[in-house]
A = this chain, B = another copy of it.
Amino acid sequence: MGKEQITEEQKKVARYAKAMGHPIRMYVLELLSKQSCCYSGDLSEELPIVKSTLSQHLKELKSAGLIQGEIETPRVKYCINKENWAEAQQLFKQFLKI
């Protein structure tokens, strides 16, 4: 077994891909990438999961850097993290050669 050949870029794409690797999270990302923002409650109404589970998925997307949350008491407004979203677009574009 040789030395590590895996690049930082590959790690980054893998990290983003992992965050995208669940239907619920894909749904959220697709929605946010279209309209840029929404409230957690709106998602909760549409999706077949309890709010605590949704909260976990949003946390996962946040920790991957793909979204960000802003408190607007008593609600939380979630938006695409534009900077990282752009990076993800770029990385996937390169990777997929599209």
Contact = CB atoms under 8 A, between A and B. Distances in A.
Interface of A: 1-6, 10-11, 13-15, 17-27, 29-30, 33, 44-50, 88-89, 92-93, 95-98
A9 to B, nearest CB: 9
Name A's interface SS: helix
Contacts of A21: 14-15, 17-21
A95 B30 contact: yes
Contact of A20 (B17, B24, B97): B17
Contacts of A24: 6
Contacts of A48: 1-4
A1 B95 contact: no
